Amino acid sequence: MNEKLQYFKDVTQVEDSALAEQILEAHGWDLGAAVATMVDKNVQGGGALSQTDAQGPVQGVAAAAAEEHARGPNHNPNMVWRMVTLPFSIIRGSYNLMYGAVGMGMWIAGGMLNYSLGALGFGGPEQRAGDGNMLLTMPAGTAEAAAFLRNFESEYGEYHPTFQVTSFMEALRRAGQQFKFLFVYLHSPEHANTPPFCERSLCNEHVVQFVNENFVAWGGDVRTSEGFQMSNSLKASTFPFCAVVMGSSNQRIALLQQVEGPRSAAELVSILQRVVEEQGVALVAARVEEEERQLNRRLREEQDAAYQAALQADQERERLRQEEAERVANEVAETERKRKEEEEAASQVAQEAAEREAALVRRRHEKAMALGKEPDKGPNVTQVLLRFPNGERKERRFMSDAKVRLLYDYVDSLGMFDGVDYHLLSNFPRTVYDQLDLTLKSAGLHPQASLFVHVDDK
C-alpha cells in the first residue's frame, strides 16, 4: 500500500498524502486507473494555474498578481489573484469523446502509461482492457453535485449553504447572472478536520446566511471527477478547502480568495466579508455596466420598434394607395370593356335586325312573285275574303285548282305577320285550313270563302 501511495504521489505530484490515499481508495487501490484519471484530467486541462498578466482579469480590481502565499493553520489568508485554467471536461460540464489528433494522442498516452504500470506490477490486463472506455463514459457534473448534496445532508443535516445542484460551470454561469461571486467548497470526508468544520463553521447560522445572501454556492466531493478536478486546478493541498472565484475569459476563472484548513465560523465570515468589501466593486461595476447595456438594448429595441412601426405604417399607406390606384384602373377598364361590349352587342343586334328585315323583304318579294297575276272572274276562279285581327280586310281571286299554300303566300306577301305563326280558319263550321297541298276546290273553298287570320298563342 505505501509503495503504491508513494508511486502515485511521485507520478501525479499530489503532495497531500491523505488526498492521494482518498483517490486511490476511490479507485479501489487500482493504481493504473487512478493515475490514468489524473493524466486524463491534466491533459484535458492543459495546465492548472497561471498568474494574471499586468492588467488583471477584471477592471476596477487591483491588477498586480500575488504569488501563492504560504499556507498553515495559523496563517491569515490574504487576498490572492490567480487565473485558473479549467480542465476541458469542467468547461464542457461532462466528459465527452475527444476528437481528432488530440483525442488519439490522449488515448495512446493512457495506453502507454497503463502498459508501463503493468510492467512495474501495479496494474493487470483487466485494467488495461478497460481503460479504453475512460474517455467515453464519465458521470455528469449535475449527478455528482446531487450525490454530494445527498451525502452531505445525510451527514450534517439540511441546514447549510444553498449548494447548486449543477456542474461547476453552470453554477459559475448562475453567479455571473446574479452578479455574485461563486463560493466553492471542496469536501474531503476522510480528513479529520472536515466534520468539525462542517458542523461548527460551514453549517453555522451566520455563515449560511452570509453565504446565501452574498454568494452563489457550489460544493464538490474530491473523490468524484469534477470535485477532484477542481481541487487539482485550485491546487488544494489542505482541507477543509473553500475558495471564492468569479468568471473570467478564455475558459479561465479568477481566484479571489482561498481558505484552507479549519476556520471558525467567525473567521470564515470575516474572510468572506473582506472579499465582498474589497472585491465587490468589480461586481458593482459589472452590474452597472450590465444595467447600462440593458438600458441601451431597450432603447435600441424601442427605437427599432418605432422605426419598424413607422416603416410598416408607410408600407401600409403605400399598399392602400396602390390598391386604390389599381381599383380605379380596374373600374375604368371594366367600364370601357362594358361600353365596348354594349356597342358590339348593339351593332350585332342592328346587323341581325337588318339581316332579318332584308330576309323578310326578300321573302315577301318571293311570295308575291309566286302568286302571279290575279285571275279574272270566271267559273274556275275562287273569290277569297281574308279578315285580319286588326279588323282589316283583304280580298283576292285565286284559281280553284290553286293550293291552300298559295293563300298563306298571299298573307306573307302583305308583310303583316312577319315572324308570327298564324293559321287560316272559318267560323261556321270552324275549320282550320292547314293542309297546304289541298286545292282550294278540294278544301271546300270554291267558289268563294271568307277566312279569318288567326295568330297562334305563344
pLDDT band at 86 (very low <50, low <70, confident <90, very high): low
Residue 22 confidence (pLDDT)? 81
Q: How far apart are CA 423 and CA 386, in angstroms?
A: 12
Q: Does 362 fall in a domain?
A: no
Q: What's the Rg (C-alpha) of the chain? A: 58
Number of Cα atoms under 13 Å in the Cβ half of residue 100 = 1
- pTM of the model as a whole: 0.46
Q: Which amino acid type is present at position 406?
A: L
Using DSSP's 3-state secondary structure scheme, residue 455 falls into strand
Q: How far apart are CA 436 and CA 434, in angstroms?
A: 6
Residue 11 confidence (pLDDT)? 64
Residue 441: domain span: 381-455
Residues 258 and 405 in one domain: no
pLDDT band at 457 (very low <50, low <70, confident <90, very high): confident
Is a pLDDT exceeding 70 seen at residue 72? no
For 189-323, list the strands marked E by DSSP: 215-221, 241-247, 252-260
Residue 10 confidence (pLDDT)? 67
Alpha-carbon distances of 119 from 1, 109, 116, 129, rounded to whole Å = 18, 15, 5, 15
Q: Does 32 fall in a domain?
A: yes
Q: What is the mean pLDDT of residues 95-115?
A: 35
Number of Cα atoms under 13 Å in the Cβ half of residue 417 = 17
Percent residues over pLDDT 70 in the chain: 75
pLDDT band at 58 (very low <50, low <70, confident <90, very high): very low
Residues 100 and 241 in one domain: yes
Domain end position, chosen among 254, 288, 322: 288
Tell me the per-residue pLDDT of 316-329, one tens digit each, with 9 for 90 and over. 999 999 999 999 99
Domain end position, chosen among 288, 320, 344: 288
Residues 155 and 283 in one domain: yes
Structurally, how many domains does the chain consist of?
A: 2
Residue 104 confidence (pLDDT)? 30
Burial profile 11-39: b = 16 or more Cβ within 10 angstroms, e = fewer: bbebebeebbbbbbebbeebbbbbbbbbb
Q: Does 367 fall in a domain?
A: no
Residue 64 confidence (pLDDT)? 31
pLDDT band at 57 (very low <50, low <70, confident <90, very high): very low
Q: What is the mean pLDDT of the chain?
A: 78
Q: What is the CATH number of the domain that holds 90?
A: 3.40.30.10
Is a pLDDT exceeding 80 seen at residue 136? no
pLDDT band at 250 (very low <50, low <70, confident <90, very high): low
Is a pLDDT exceeding 60 seen at residue 79? no
- Among 45-54, 355-364, 401-410, name the one with the lowest average pLDDT: 45-54
pLDDT band at 211 (very low <50, low <70, confident <90, very high): very high
Q: How far apart are CA 433 and CA 438, in angstroms?
A: 9
Residues 160 and 277 in one domain: yes
pLDDT band at 412 (very low <50, low <70, confident <90, very high): confident
Q: Does 320 fall in a domain?
A: no
pLDDT band at 231 (very low <50, low <70, confident <90, very high): very high
Q: How far apart are CA 227 and CA 217, in angstroms?
A: 14
Tell me the per-residue pLDDT of 213-225, one tens digit each, with 9 for 90 and over. 999 999 999 999 9
Q: Does 25 fall in a domain?
A: yes
Domain end position, chosen among 288, 313, 332: 288
